[in-house]
Amino acid sequence: MLDLKALKGALVQLEEERKIPQEKIVDAIEQSLAAAYKKDYGKKGQIVRCSLDLDSGAMTFFQVKIVADESTVRFVELDEEGNPIVEENEEEILENEEGEEEVKSVYNPEKHILLEDAQKIKNGVQVDDEIVFPLPLQDDFGRVAAQTAKQVIMQRIREAERGVVLDEFSDREGEIIIGTIQKIDIKGTVFIDFGRATGILPKEEQIPGEHYRQGQRIKAYLFHVEETSRGVNLKLSRSHPRFLLELFALEAPEIANGTVEVKGIAREPGSRSKVAVMSHDENIDATGSCVGQKGVRVMTVSDELNGEKIDIIEYDEDPKEYIAKSLSPAKVLSIEINEETKEAKIRVASDQLSLAIGKGGQNARLANKLTGWKIDIKAEDGEFTSTPKPDEEETIQENEEGYGSFADLQSDN
């Protein structure tokens, strides 16, 4: 017998604290006890089951035989011990009269009982019914049973914890979560503790130039939850464009409730970003909602991104207006566009050329990513300076990474 008091206590505790029904654990224990009994005392092909009485702690083992006849099994030669001699698979796939496939198992006296024999034991029995035969309870099985029950309970606890973590964080995919840095490995990967689970922030998902320390509280964007044999992996990012979007959603209620929509994001993490926004309420200023009073909202987001400079521009359906605004803070004199090739020729004042292009071409490059247009910039008295047009594959990739609207993000989640 098992230690009934300890077992009942464990079952109650698991149900209350881990929300695991007692019936599921008892069923798992019975299956494990049956497997252990068969391993030590059973024969090949036997079907062994166990019944555990929680009131007395008694275990009952029995063998199950399936009622069979020529239509469900095939007969082969038996060895001296009565076991079937099978050269091929133990199951054979045949076609019935209607041309449908049927699976026939090899007849095994430990697993099957012929219909005529079964009818002598139980009246009205039919093919595929089960006949139960009691098995003796072995004297030395108590220790094995106790150890098996303990292992099953521990396994169920681990499975339950994994399930709880998976359910909790799967619902939070696409959100910002806050944790504490646990450790940083030699490759620069940051491991973040979230209580029930640990998140992974790889080097390539970090903001360039950021420094991390053990014990530091940190925000990260949860972009994927993955269940593995070792547990649940939380994949995090601070360089993802949607991390920036979610930060603005936290700071600006107008974005969170959909009044102001983020139409596009172009980002070079840790350096500079451009965010295009539009308002669905004529009484709400889209850029003002993101900037905040005295710039407090955009500064809060910038501080979280290691001082990343953020340009907030108003989205415009007119490509000319949109491209002109995307080159902010530079002022554009004129724009010529080619709708078919999605190319734009921009003219700016001579003293605005370096501002329009930006350091290392960054301003023009971000405007190019934000609008999807190839941009050629020229001073009034100079030659055009081009930014490369994003090819189709690059544009698709950017869209997948979140250069879309806040409404799209919500629908994805």
**What CATH number should be reported for the domain holding residue 334?**
3.30.300.20
Q: Is residue 287 part of a domain?
A: yes
Whether 67 and 137 share a structural domain = yes
Q: Look at residues 237, 269, 291 and tell me which one is the last residue of a structural domain.
A: 237
Residue 205: domain span? 172-237
Q: Encode pLDDT of 331-357 as tens digits.
A: 999 999 998 999 999 999 988 999 999
* Tokens 């209350």, located at residue: 16
State how far the Cα of 105 lies from the Cα of 344, in Å rounded to an integer: 73
Whether 192 and 159 share a structural domain = no
* Tokens 């971000």, located at residue: 366
Whether 252 and 225 share a structural domain = no
Whether 161 and 198 share a structural domain = no
**What CATH number should be reported for the domain holding residue 155?**
3.30.1480.10
Whether 136 and 39 share a structural domain = yes
Give the CA distances from residue 330 to residues 89, 255, 335, 351, 356, in Å, rounded to whole numbers and listed in that order: 77, 26, 13, 9, 5
Ranking 16-25, 235-244, 245-254, 295-304 by mean pLDDT, the lowest is 16-25
Q: Encode pLDDT of 50-103 as tens digits.
A: 998 888 878 899 999 999 988 888 877 666 665 555 554 555 544 445 545 566
Q: Look at residues 237, 252, 271 and tell me which one is the last residue of a structural domain.
A: 237
Amino acid present at 267: R
Q: Encode pLDDT of 384-396 as tens digits.
A: 555 655 543 333 2
What does DSSP assign to residue 189?
-
Which pLDDT does position 39 carry in this prediction? 85
Q: Encode pLDDT of 117-164 as tens digits.
A: 999 999 999 999 999 999 988 877 777 777 877 787 777 777 777 777
For the chain, what's the residue count? 413
Whether 126 and 229 share a structural domain = no
DSSP alpha helix (H) spans, 171-295:
241-251, 253-256, 286-291
Q: Is residue 260 part of a domain?
A: yes
Whether 272 and 362 share a structural domain = yes
Q: Is residue 97 part of a domain?
A: no
The two structure tokens encoding residue 45: 């092909």
Q: Look at residues 209, 237, 265 and tell me which one is the last residue of a structural domain.
A: 237
Whether 31 and 146 share a structural domain = yes
* Nearest C-alpha neighbor of 347 from the set 323, 366, 365, 315: 323
Please tell me whether the peptide bond between 329 and the residue prior to it is cis, using omega within 30 degrees of 0.
Answer: yes
Please count the structural domains in the chain.
Answer: 3
* Nearest C-alpha neighbor of 292 from the set 327, 245, 330, 248: 248
Ranking 161-165, 326-330, 373-377 by mean pLDDT, the lowest is 161-165
Q: Encode pLDDT of 35-58 as tens digits.
A: 888 888 888 889 999 998 888 878
Taking a C-beta distance cutoff of 8 angstroms, is the pair 243, 211 a contact? no
Whether 230 and 247 share a structural domain = no
Determine the distance from the C-alpha atom of residue 320 to the mean position of all C-alpha atoms in its chain, rounded to a whole number: 41
Task: Collect all residues with Cβ–Cβ distance below 8 Å to 228 and sequence separation of at least 6.
Answer: none
Q: State percent of the chain over pLDDT 90.
A: 50
Q: Is residue 253 part of a domain?
A: yes
Which pLDDT does position 141 carry in this prediction? 79
State how far the Cα of 170 lies from the Cα of 186, in Å rounded to an integer: 29
Q: Is residue 54 part of a domain?
A: yes
Average pLDDT over residues 104-113: 86
Whether 140 and 180 share a structural domain = no
